[in-house]
Amino acid sequence: MLEPLDICVMLGGPSGEREVSLQSGAAVADALRSLGHRVSEIDPVDGEFRLSPKTDVVFLALHGMYGEDGAVQARLDALGVPYTGCSEAVSRLAFDKVAAKRACAAQGLATANDCVVDAPGAGLPDGLELPLVLKPVCQGSSSGLECVESAAAWPSGLAKSLEGGGQVLVEERIEGREVTVGIVGGQSLPVVQITPKRGAYDYANKYTAGATEYACPAPFDAEATQRIQHAGELALAAVGGGNCARVDFIVRADGEPVFLEVNTLPGMTETSLLPKAAAATGTGFAELCQWLVELAVEHPPLAATG
Active site residues: 17, 141, 207, 246, 248, 261, 263, 267
Contacts of 66 (CB under 8 A, 6+ apart): 13, 14, 15, 44, 47, 72
Contact predicate 85/244, CB 8 Å: yes
Q: Is 151 in contact with 211 (CB distance < 8 Å)? A: no
Nearest in space to 39 (alpha carbons), one of 10, 75, 12, 68: 10
d(CA 132, CA 48) in angstroms, rounded, equals 38
In sequence order, what are the residues at sequence separation of 6 or more whose Cβ sits closer than 8 angstroms to the Cβ of residue 119?
Answer: none
Write the DSSP symbol of residue 190: P
Please answer whether residues 13 and 64 qualify as being in contact, where contact means their C-beta atoms are separated by less than 8 angstroms. Answer: yes
Task: Return the closest-CA partner of residue 162 out of 105, 121, 222, 219.
Answer: 121
